[in-house]
């Protein structure tokens, strides 16, 4: 399983991903699902992936081969708009799946991969696109500023509550980490290390990237404080009218 999430804020873009990969519960491994691409000085891309690992790696191999050998056809170094980058990646992803699909389907395995592509090309706004296995795509908006792929449900409620109130990249990074935390608590197939990358608006580069292992002291403290904060908020909720007020309870 996988959980990747990205957020667009006024300050720029934030990306986060887990690293747990499993082919059945008896083969659990660690693979990065965050791929940072800087094919030219005027642009930066972050690609998050959820789905068939071989498909995702082949997409990246073809993308990098195009950068080395196909300078005159569309590739990540020469597309003008971010949507063209999403379109280009979507076409490659669909082509890989078309190549591999029949053999995999015969074994009851899906070749699908779902991707989030975010970044900025100088002169244009930063943006986030979700790319479906079929190659089509849509962009995040101010109204719905986050995109999720993989195991998306456990971590969505906190995004629904907070995502439009996170003006800073740091708040955005904390938000994606607590969304990852909720998901990894509820689904054992999602787990650390967690990767986080941030792209400040108009920087056209990843300004901050870090990887948090399961035993990272800062991550453990964040998880502890978040759990305590939620627990405190829960036990401070309004009483029912039929409950005794705490001060009226006397020892028996």
Q: Please name which of 147, 153, 86, 145 lies closest in space to residue 119, comparing C-alpha atoms.
A: 86
Minimum separation from the CB atom of position 47 to its own copies (A): 24
* CB-CB contact of 219 with 177 (8 Å): yes
Instruction: Give the interface segment with its own copies, choosing from 43-51, 88-96, 106-114, 239-247 (CB under 8 A).
Output: 239-247
Question: Which residues 6+ apart lie within 8 Å of 21 measured at CB?
Answer: 2, 28, 29, 30, 31, 53
Give the one residue of 28, 62, 138, 171 binding its own copies; rule: CB under 8 A.
171
| Whole-angstrom distance, CA of residue 117 vs CA of residue 115 | 6
Instruction: Give the interface segment with its own copies, choosing from 25-33, 45-53, 105-113, 235-243 (CB under 8 A).
Output: 235-243
* CB-CB contact of 88 with 76 (8 Å): yes
Q: Is there binding between residue 232 and its own copies (CB under 8 A)?
A: yes
Helix (H) or strand (E) holding 84: helix 82-106
Site for its own copies in 67-86 (CB under 8 A): none
Site for its own copies in 187-216 (CB under 8 A): 208
Nearer to its own copies, 73 or 244 (CB): 244
Tell me which residues touch its own copies (CB under 8 A). 153-158, 160-162, 165, 170-171, 173-175, 178, 182-183, 185-186, 208, 218, 221-222, 225-227, 229-243
């Amino acid at each position: 399983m996988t959980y990747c999430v990205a957020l667009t804020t006024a300050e720029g873009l934030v990306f986060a991903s887990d690293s747990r990969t499993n082919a059945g519960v008896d083969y659990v491994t660690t693979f990065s699902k965050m791929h940072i691409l800087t094919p030219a000085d005027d642009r930066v891309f972050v690609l998050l992936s959820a789905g068939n690992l071989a498909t995702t790696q082949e997409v990246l191999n073809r993308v990098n081969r195009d950068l080395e050998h196909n300078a005159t056809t569309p590739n990540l170094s020469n597309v003008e708009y971010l949507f063209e980058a999403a379109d280009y990646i979507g076409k490659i992803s669909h082509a890989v799946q078309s190549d591999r699909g029949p053999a995999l389907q015969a074994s009851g395995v899906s070749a699908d991969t779902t991707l989030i592509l975010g970044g900025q090309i100088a002169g244009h706004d930063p943006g986030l696109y979700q790319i479906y296995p079929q190659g089509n795509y849509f962009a995040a908006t101010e109204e719905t500023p986050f995109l999720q792929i993989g195991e998306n449900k456990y971590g969505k409620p906190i995004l629904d509550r907070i995502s439009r109130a996170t003006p800073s990249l740091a708040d955005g990074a904390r938000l994606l980490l607590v969304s990852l935390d909720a998901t990894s608590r509820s689904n054992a197939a999602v787990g650390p290390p967690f990767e986080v990358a941030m792209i400040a608006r108009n920087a056209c580069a990843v300004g901050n990237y870090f990887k948090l292992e399961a035993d990272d002291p800062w991550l453990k403290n964040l998880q502890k404080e978040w759990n305590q904060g939620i627990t405190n908020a829960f036990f401070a909720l309004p009483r029912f009218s039929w409950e005794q007020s705490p001060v009226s309870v006397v020892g028996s």
